[in-house]
Amino acid sequence: MELGILTLLPPLVILVIAIKSRSTSSSLFIGAIVCCILQYKTGFLTGLIDLMYAVACDEDTAWYVLFVSLFGCLIGIWTRSGATRALADCLQKYATTKKRTLILTWLIGLVLFIDDFTSIAVRGTMTKLYDKNKIPRTQLSYMTDATASPLNALIPIGTWGIFYISVFNGYEEITQYGTGMGLYVKLIPFLFYSWVAVIIALLFALGVIKPFGAMKKAVITAEETGKLYSDASGALNAEDEAEEAMEAGKMKKLLIGLFGPLLVFIITVIMTGDVITGSLIAIAIALVLFLVMRLSTWKKLMEACMGGIGDMLSMIVIVFCAYMVRDSLIGVGLPEYVTSVMEPFMSPVILPALTFLICAFLAFVSGTNWGSGLPVAAIVIPLCAAIGGNMFLVISAVISGAAFGAHACFYCDVTVFTSGMTKIDNMEHATTQLPLCLIGGGITAVLYLAAGFIF
């Protein structure tokens, strides 16, 4: 089926509706319907139902629902027991100013390098610190997002590294340059978007890059009215009752209950490469610790787990719709069309930059980071070998494009998870950080173009 330029209609519809309505899930669902109309014509309703069944049964969907639900249990235990409040109270002696709070957020991202979702979840506990220092919540969500997927992509033992190692090991054109962890280490210097995004976030935290655009408006609003997030984010931030000071002994126990399971989770993921296994073991450790230290009862822990899963429901719905869009865009042939349009312009010099731009575009419009670059990789890797291009630059451009999409796309699972954890409306988060993402993307494209001439 050749739809040509019509394949660009669904992502355009999604963007327009999302911006106008500020509703992520509805815009995605309508985009999936448009895809089904293009693909199945009058039989679009049957196609839509089949698409929903397929997404519901897909391994990616099951993995995401399982991970988010299991981590929701952990977050529920931590938040409802007071562990996250204990962390915030402990960090208060360091986060005494706006700059220090932003830098601390950046540093925590460096420490929790193993998985982007884990990194985001822990930074989500800092909302009260930001509120105390009168920092708009948009800055927390940006700092968290910018040092999540982009940073994790730089780590060979992280979830991004493990995924792409398994992908690239399947190409004969790549194995001559190395395999496994050794190959990925060679890519790290060329993962330009990751480096650029992390550096921009640090410069923002240090105050070298000043807030501008919608981010600056949020700062002005905070200064003039004291409001740290928009009305759209209000429902996610119910007023907390005044809290008494926490005694030192209980705070110590709660921090053990937080960092103990978290450390076990990180070690398990490093050893097994499986975040589901890590989550299950971490939950078990958390339950034992909170019971043994008499921080909670079994009934309250189970209520906290169910409440934590409930808090994740909106994210699960959005990502389910995003996966529908992903599969339906592949069904109408968007990746093939975009690649075919760009392929005639490819040469060894500009191939890395074009690869980044194509992967970034596909990741942004489809809402999927890992999957968006795979059809492009299947074309550019053999093409790179055929025309004598720099293979390290090309495959690193695939990863960089995916990292850009995970950071910039407002309905990508990583972006949605960030807004959920930092308790800010998803569209408010996405629109305020987008200009910084685009600056990083522009710099990255220039770097790949320059590298194409140099290497």
111-120 per-position pLDDT tens digit: 777 678 778 8
Is 80 exceeded by the pLDDT of residue 341?
no
The answer to whether residue 130 sits within a structural domain is: yes
Please state, in angstroms and as integers, the Cα–Cα distance from residue 422 to each residue in 74, 75, 327, following that order: 16, 12, 29
Taking phi over 0 as left and psi of -120 to 50 as alpha, with beta for the rest, 238 belongs to: beta
Which residue type is seen at 402? A
* Contact present, 121 and 418 (Cβ < 8 Å): no
130-139, 152-161, 342-351 — most confident range: 130-139
- The set of residues, in sequence order, having a beta carbon less than 8 Å from that of 331 and lying 6+ positions away, is 35, 39, 51
The answer to whether residue 187 sits within a structural domain is: no
At residue 349 the predicted structure's pLDDT band, cuts being 50, 70 and 90, is: very high
Q: Domain limits at 113?
A: 60-152+194-313
Residue 22: the pLDDT is 61
Which residue type is seen at 291? L
What's the start-to-end Cα distance of the chain, in Å?
39
The answer to whether residue 77 sits within a structural domain is: yes
In this prediction the pTM is 0.76
Looking at the chain, the number of H-run helices and the number of E-run strands are 25, 0
* Contact present, 371 and 328 (Cβ < 8 Å): no
371 or 360: whose pLDDT is higher? 360
Is 70 exceeded by the pLDDT of residue 428?
yes
The answer to whether residue 269 sits within a structural domain is: yes
Q: How far apart are CA 330 and CA 322, in angstroms?
A: 12
The answer to whether residue 51 sits within a structural domain is: no
Residue 175: the pLDDT is 82
At residue 170 the predicted structure's pLDDT band, cuts being 50, 70 and 90, is: low
Q: How far apart are CA 56 and CA 50, in angstroms?
A: 10
The answer to whether residue 71 sits within a structural domain is: yes
The answer to whether residue 75 sits within a structural domain is: yes
> What pLDDT, in 10s, does the model give residues 186-235?
999 999 999 999 999 999 999 999 999 999 999 999 989 999 998 888 77
Nearest CA to 214 out of 427, 406, 11, 72 is that of 427
User: Cα–chain-centroid distance for residue 76?
Assistant: 20
Q: What is the DSSP letter of 237?
A: S
Q: What is the DSSP letter of 23?
A: -
Q: How far apart are CA 145 and CA 158, in angstroms?
A: 16
Q: How far apart are CA 424 and CA 435, in angstroms?
A: 18
Q: What is the DSSP letter of 6?
A: G
Please state, in angstroms and as integers, the Cα–Cα distance from residue 40 to each residue in 29, 34, 36, 37, following that order: 16, 10, 6, 5
Is 80 exceeded by the pLDDT of residue 2?
no
The answer to whether residue 244 sits within a structural domain is: yes
* Contact present, 61 and 55 (Cβ < 8 Å): yes
Is 80 exceeded by the pLDDT of residue 255?
yes
Backbone φ and ψ for 134, nearest 5 degrees, come out as: 60, 40
Q: How many independent structural domains does the chain possess?
A: 1
Residue 403: the pLDDT is 94
Q: How far apart are CA 394 and CA 5, in angstroms?
A: 26
Angle at 431 between CA 203 and CA 38, to 5 degrees: 135
State the greatest distance between any 2 C-alpha atoms of the chain, in Å, as a whole number: 68
Residue indicated by tokens 């807004």: 419
Is 90 exceeded by the pLDDT of residue 382?
no
